[in-house]
Amino acid sequence: MFIEKDFYEMEKKNQQCCDHSHEVFDHYHGHHSHEKNDVLEHHASVWDELVCHLPFAVFSVALAMVCLSFVSYLDMATGKSLAYRLFHNFHYLHIVFAATGTVLVFFKYSKNMILGLLVGIFVPATFCTVSDAFLPYLGGRFVGLDMDLHWCFISHLDVVLPFLLAGIINGLAMSTHPMSRRLFYSFSFHFVHIFVSSMAAILYLISFGFYEWWDRMGFVFIFLVAAVLIPCTMSDVVVPMLFAKTKLKKRNRDT
């Protein structure tokens, strides 16, 4: 009995980082102390979310740099061409993961379908572009390189939309799954999402003007950690939760 209780308390404490489903423990153990809007009020701060996601970002960027080291062995023309193609592949996959995470978090706290779809469209479109293109572009400009700015939602909208739609549908499907299964998804989902974003960001650097990135490897590493950590955390957790929470508070005031 005491062992089971201690294990439950330890698991509950461990799940509080990077998890927004504390009520699942109460459900399994017969406690119902939190209403839906109470749960919204007890989430970690934005700073706590960033700290919680930091290890995912560090390991993902490190792994991405290892993978991209092989591209650097090619001659410049071949390397840039390969990086350009791979950038688009990873950027489109990033949109799938971002849309899935955004929709999943939003519909955990709100059932407003129209607002949820709008959030699922515009939040990934914004933050995927920021992490994969705008911030790498600014990073290259910061060190004095003549970087090119490339925005796939303008240049390749017809290619982007199917991936965005797939992510939204996937998020809607996952939102119907039991809470225990969503907990199982959470850690692997966060890591793969941030890894895909890391690959897209570093491939953008190589494709659009920062081919000899290994000369500034330390700067690239630190910059990319920030470039993927902040937008991915905002897209996956903070912004969809903010929209859902605002709508829920408005509905509670009206009633």
Q: Tally the domains of the chain.
A: 1
pTM (2 d.p.): 0.79
Q: Is the pLDDT of residue 87 over 60?
A: yes
Taking residues 27-41, what's their average pLDDT?
38
**Bigger pLDDT: 238 vs 21:** 238
d(CA 111, CA 113): 6
Q: Is the pLDDT of residue 5 over 50?
A: no
d(CA 162, CA 242): 26
| pLDDT of amino acid 77 | 78
The three-class DSSP label of residue 29 is coil
Q: Is the pLDDT of residue 14 over 90?
A: no
Q: Is the pLDDT of residue 118 over 50?
A: yes
The three-class DSSP label of residue 35 is coil
**Cβ(153)–Cβ(98) under 8 Å?**
no
Q: Is residue 34 part of a domain?
A: no
Q: Is residue 100 part of a domain?
A: yes
Q: Is the pLDDT of residue 255 over 90?
A: no
**Cβ(52)–Cβ(20) under 8 Å?**
no
In tens, the pLDDT along 142-156 reads: 989 889 999 999 999
Instruction: Please tell me which of 58-72, 122-136, 185-199 the model is most confident about, judged by mean pLDDT.
Output: 122-136
Q: Is residue 182 part of a domain?
A: yes
Q: Is residue 24 part of a domain?
A: no
Least confident window among 32-41, 45-54, 121-130, 243-252: 32-41
Taking residues 216-235, what's their average pLDDT?
92
% of the chain exceeding 70 in pLDDT: 75
Q: Is the pLDDT of residue 207 over 80?
A: yes
Domain range for residue 235? 86-248
| pLDDT of amino acid 48 | 86
Q: Is residue 71 part of a domain?
A: no
| pLDDT of amino acid 191 | 85
Q: Is the pLDDT of residue 189 over 50?
A: yes
Would you place residue 3 in the very low, low, confident or very high pLDDT band (cuts 50, 70, 90)? very low
Would you place residue 252 in the very low, low, confident or very high pLDDT band (cuts 50, 70, 90)? low
Taking residues 186-215, what's their average pLDDT?
86
Residue 32 corresponds to which amino acid?
A: H
Q: Is residue 230 part of a domain?
A: yes
The pairs formed by 138-147 with CB atoms below 8 angstroms and a separation of 24 or more are 139/205, 139/210, 139/219, 139/220, 139/223, 139/224, 139/227, 140/205, 140/208, 140/209, 140/210, 143/210, 143/216, 143/219, 145/209, 145/210, 146/209, 147/208, 147/209, 147/210
Average pLDDT, the chain: 80
Tell me how crowded residue 221 is: count the other CB atoms within 10 A of its CB: 16
Q: Is residue 8 part of a domain?
A: no
Mind giving me the DSSP string for 131-177? IIIIHHHHHHHHTT--PPP--HHHHSHHHHHHHHHHHHHHHHHHTTS
In tens, the pLDDT along 156-179 reads: 999 999 999 999 999 999 888 877
Q: Is residue 125 part of a domain?
A: yes
